[in-house]
Chains A and B, each alone.
Chain A
Amino acid sequence: MTSQGKEVVTLQFGKFPNFVGAHYFNIQTAGFSFNPDFPADVNHDVLFREGKSDSGSFSYTPRLIAVDLEQSLHSLSKTGLNFVTPPSTSEVQDVTQVEALEVLQNPQPPKNEYFEDVEKQSSAQENPNAMQVDLLLKTKYDLSTTVKSWSEVLTVNLHPRSITMIPKTLSSGLDVPKSTCKTGDDIWKNPSFNDDFEDNLRFQLEACDIVQGFHLLTECENLYSGMSNRCLDYLRDECGKKSILTVPIFSLNEDEEDGLEIRKRLCSNLINTGFCLSRSSELSDLVAPFSTLSELWGDGKEFQDFKTLKYDGSSCYQSSAVMAACLELISTPYRLKRLPGVRMNNVNEVLSLPGRKLVGAGVVFPFPDVKIDYDILELLKRHKYRSLCPFVPLESTLDTQSVTLRGFPHSQFPSSPALFVSSCNVRVPRTFPDIIPHEYDLSNSALYYGRLREVSGLSGLCNTREMKAFTDKLVEKLRQINVGKISSFVSNDFERPELVEMMESVEEISASYDISMFL
């Protein structure tokens, strides 16, 4: 293994983060280079783990812990493979020596277009009599209309120890969008979840030589906020000072409800978000909130305009794809083979300003220019980031930033600890939604089969005083709902002192973005 002790373990809490993760790891596998003449610039051992599967064959699986409700696995089996045929009843009877066996079968979800083609391909390969025709997969499968679960998007096999599900016994009767972080705490503490989680995480850690850090993707508005906070505690406890990048993701709540229910949900969402931000900015090294909405908390349902992308923000499948592309770009620096010395903490160093861990992530994806004949400052001036952080436009005062540019030779730019350039394009996996306009596709675009799309991209993590707009809004909204008084209306879970404490800590975060604090 050549990971050189730079492993990154990814943790995903909730449906949306798992969608993002599915796209993210798809992008990774799309980037694999099987041609020794063109080695990939990205060191895949950072995110992937080499091993042997149960059947003895070679396996290469993400260093990942995915947490979700057991019932939302959909087509993904706990063995980490999609669409597994269950063993026959007689075989099971034989193994367990049970005489009377009653079969309770849940219907198998229908295969989507992509998986149908994969199946056709593999059956064609197995059949020796078939004509020597390579069955090529299409370049793009847009699953927007059919997709139900993140597992359908996933083109990678997972390791069985990556799948850490909340068992049904803990989740029955749970209304996730309205749940509070206290519920998450309770689930975390329950041994039927916790033992599994610790075992699996330990398994992933044991396989790492020197972990450089963690990506923690979590839904921040519901019970997963509580779970991820507990998880951060655990990571700090077990892994000391490793870098942690926390990405709180805001859910898309589409369903129309009546006024009172919306208000109730909003209250618990705000409180959960408050807890998530206050704890994660205390425990992690960087916190980069992701959302495709440009405004949150009942202020509007406008989606961020990414200029070069045509996407439908209300679709979880498409929004998560944008976020995954962004995560791919911002996580590039510490995965480059060219820069073996760069680690997550170098990026943290670049961005660190006292007390400020909340950073905004922005992208220009796909990057519109084919050629760059200007310098870096001009580049940043011409191509303004499109922000993934609600309320924060990332336009004017970016105090410090770490920039990643993919698809251009690094020799063109002066080396700088805050600028990371890689000549590799971002390859777009097949199940990525069809949101990238044709003109940005850098691969041979005449082909519909076989080849993958390729695009270039620019991203930045920015520590900016503009983040104040986001934190101020949160403080304002929390004040508006009058945290102390209203809590029993939302849930009896919270106690006044902790709410007050949370409020204070969010206010403190907000204050650290004052202009005066920068000097």
Chain B
Amino acid sequence: MAAIGLLNSKAEYVRTAQALALNISAAKGLQDVMKSNLGPKGTMKMLVSGSGDIRITKDGNILLHDMQIQHPTASLIARACTAMDDMTGDGTTTMVLLIAELLKQSDSYISEGVHPRAITEGFKIARQSCLEKLEQLKLPLTASREHLIPIAKTSLRTKLAPKLADHLTEICVDAVLSIYNPAQSGNELDLHMIEIMAMQHKMECESKLINGLVLDHGSRHPSMPKKVKNAYILTCNVSLEYEKSEVNSGFFYNTAEQRDKMVKSERDFIEQRVNKIIELKKKVCNGTDKGFVVINQKGIDPISLDMLAKEGIMALRRAKRRNMERLALACGGAAVNSFDDMTEDVLGYAGSVYEHVLGENKFTFVVDCAKPQSVTILINGPAQYAIKQIQDAIRDGLRSVKNAITDGGVLPGAGATELALYHHLLQYLESPDSATQMGVKGRFRVGVKAFADALLIIPKVLAINGGHDPQESITQLETESKLSGTSLIGFDINTGRPVNTVDMEIMDNYCVKRQCLSSSVIIASNLLLVDEVMRAGLSSLKQ
């Protein structure tokens, strides 16, 4: 009886083998649920909420959270997955499978009497060795189109139908390349500079890359131009809305006339601002065929809109905060916070600005910029759920391209990496040095062995999802990779035959694999070392 039982008779607890069984069964349960998601042949899930909303996804992270897990162990794993998703944007399913498999493999050893500590130590050694090997396996790449296409394609093909995926692959890669500036210090790639905009269309479902920006609102005045060629663009964050001001409060006026005067002077204040814009417009545009567009982050009231419309200026109000930055990158110029002393330098330039109306929604396209460093991916879809699915896939695709550029390399996909690591660990166990140099002796060896076996779950599940016999496929893979002598041999999901992953353009992110290996070992080790689970709440201090 556990000590807690003496102190609190209501405490619930399980110990040693039972506690472990509890954890392992939870992990296994998750594995069973998630198994079918892995790889391009995994089944899509359609989540239908009680209120009739649907969501199409294969993302492990979303599914995990949708299940509303109550089991403490399972929710621990789920949280690790969220962290993984936040960091790399991919690999959640892989991680769940790996954690569960590590526990499963250890279970058989533990039931034979091996202490969990021996296994976890073995895990640590194996992980260290694997991470070193990963570095060797890495295929270096440069930020060029042909190098990035495979990685984007692999990522997108697991989330979308192949035809759609291939179309989006190029869009994603081009989008990242257009905002990628190697000369910039730090090589920090800001994916926020790629705007993803969705349009719900009955007819059209082609997504495209716009070299410029698409804003999800239009001008609010009927007589403003709907299309402006050769446009100067003024981006600003200045309110053009009549607001009450602090002086306008009770103490300063005695009669209605005085109050009206007050209001009028307030109004004048806004009008002056508008006039400054008009002045600048006249200065730069008069006598030329150029147009003028104002994009304001703050509001513009109807009277101001009217004044601007009379001058033929197109004005948009309440622009997205982030679009201010994007506009500056796409069109040049700079966002201004005050209209005093404006010069032509603050203006950006776009070849064409036009409005597109779709039902209730207006979209404003700012295109034909000279050298846009901010671009928009425009998704057209027939239904909201289809758009959402594409949106999620594009996000993941962009992340994978970004990861590849920051890592400076990729890993062979289609189970090739796992297989290579498996072989590496077996060799490592056999090599005479391992016993002495790394301290892999006696008991710790089982941990390394369990780790190696667990890695094979990935190619196995890929094979199962593709409708192939897992054992047969693994054997074929092993022979093929031994014969060819490279670590690039992966598994062709369509034929079930071994293939060269480089030829087939199946690539995975280095950081995803790395993160996956590290985290899953930590979680699995923690779970293995749990030998008592208890639930004991104090009912009341007064009793």
Point out the residues of chain B lying under 8 angstroms from A76, CB to CB: 51
Task: Say how far B57's CB is from chain A's closest CB, in angstroms.
Answer: 10
Which residues of chain B from 40 to 82 have a CB within 8 Å of any chain A CB?
A: 41, 43-54, 56, 61-62, 65-66, 68-69, 75, 78-79, 82
What residue of chain B has the Cβ atom nearest to residue A208's Cβ? Answer: B299
Complex interface: chain B residues within 8 A of A168 (CB): 62, 65-66, 68
Residue B371 lies at the interface, judged by CB distance under 8 Å to chain A = no
- Greatest chain B CB density within 10 A among A76, A102, A107 is at A102
* Pair B163/A169 contact, Cβ less than 8 Å: no
Q: For B243, list chain A residues within 8 Å (CB).
A: 210, 240-242
Q: Is A206 within 8 A of B50, CB to CB? A: no
A172 lies within 8 A of B45 (CB): no
Chain B residues with CB under 8 A of A51: 360
Is A92 in contact with B46, judged by CB distance below 8 angstroms?
A: yes
Chain B nearest CB from A284 CB (Å) reads: 15
Q: Is the CB of A100 within 8 A of B78?
A: no
User: Is A259 an interface residue, CB under 8 A from the partner?
Assistant: yes
Asked whether A259 lies within 8 Å of B359 as measured between CB atoms, the reply is no
Which residue of B is nearest A5, CB measured? B301
**Cβ-closest chain A residue relative to B362:** A206
A173 adjacent to B541 (CB under 8 Å): no
What 0/1 readout, one digit per residue, does chain B (517-542) give for beta carbons within 8 Å of chain A?
A: 00000000000000000000111111
| Max chain B Cβ within 10 angstroms of own Cβ: one of A96, A167, A210, A241 | A96
> Chain A residues near B299 (CB, 8 Å)?
205, 208, 210-211, 239
Other-chain residue from A96, A103, A105, A343 in contact with B161 (beta carbon distance below 8 A): A96
Q: Name the B residues within 8 Å of A84 (CB-CB).
A: 51-53
Task: Name the B residues within 8 Å of A103 (CB-CB).
Answer: 45-46, 48
The one of B49, B301, B537 in contact with A210, judged by C-beta atoms closer than 8 angstroms, is B301
A96 and B389 form a contact (CB under 8 A): yes
Given A86-B48, A103-B46: A92 in contact with B54 (beta carbons within 8 A): yes
A73 at the interface (CB under 8 A from B): yes
Residue from B50, B301, B389 having most chain A Cβ neighbours under 10 A: B50
**Which chain A residues numbered 216 to 267 have a C-beta less than 8 Å away from chain B?**
238-243, 258-261
Q: What chain B residues lie within 8 Å of A97 (beta carbons)?
A: 161, 163-164
Stretch from B98-106, B273-281, B379-387, B482-490 at the A interface: B379-387
Q: Which residues of B contact A77 (CB under 8 A)?
A: 49, 51-53
A446 at the binding interface (Cβ < 8 Å): no
Contacting pair A89 B46 (CB below 8 A): yes
Q: A51-B360, A83-B52, A96-B386 are in contact. Are A345 and B318 (CB under 8 A)?
A: no
A172 in contact with B48 given A51-B360, A205-B299, A209-B301 (CB within 8 Å): no
**A298, CB-defined interface residue at 8 Å:** no
Is residue B230 within 8 Å, beta carbon to beta carbon, of the partner chain?
A: no
Report the Cα distance A97→B159, complex, angstroms: 11
Would you call B359 and A52 a contact (CB within 8 A)? yes
Q: Measured between alpha carbons, how far is A401 from B49 in the docked complex, in Å?
A: 47
- Chain B residues within an 8 Å CB radius of A343: 244
Say yes or no: is A33 at the interface (Cβ < 8 Å to chain B): no
| A198 and B320 within 8 A (CB) | yes
Cβ–Cβ contact A102 & B46, under 8 A: yes
Asked whether, in the complex, the Cβ of A259 is within 8 Å of the Cβ of B46, the reply is no
Across the interface, which residues of A come within 8 angstroms of B385, CB to CB? 92, 95-96
A53 and B44 contact, Cβ closer than 8 Å, known pairs A199-B320, A349-B249: no
Cross-chain contact A52 with B49 (CB below 8 angstroms): no
Residues 109-134 of A at the B interface (beta carbon under 8 Å):
109
The reply to whether the CB of B503 lies closer than 8 angstroms to some CB of chain A is no
How far apart sit A87 and B384, CA to CA, in the bound complex (Å)? 11
Cα of A74 to Cα of B52 in the assembled complex, Å: 10
The residues of B that contact A211 with a CB separation of less than 8 Å are: 241, 299
Residues of A with C-beta under 8 A to B44: 96, 98, 100-102
B50 contacts which of A95, A108, A261 (Cβ < 8 Å)?
A108
**Bound-complex Cα distance A82 to B389 (A):** 23
Contact of B217 with A by CB under 8 A: yes
Complex: A205 Cα to B239 Cα, angstroms: 13
Give 8 CB contacts A-B under 8 Å: A54-B200, A77-B53, A100-B41, A102-B44, A206-B220, A238-B321, A258-B537, A258-B539
Contacts A109-B50, A240-B298, A261-B537 supplied; 8 other A-B pairs, CB < 8 Å: A74-B50, A75-B51, A104-B45, A107-B50, A169-B62, A198-B320, A259-B541, A352-B249
A-side interface residues toward B, CB under 8 Å? 5, 51-54, 56, 59, 71, 73-79, 82-87, 89, 92, 95-109, 151, 167-169, 172-173, 198-199, 202-203, 205-206, 208-211, 238-243, 258-261, 343, 345, 349, 352
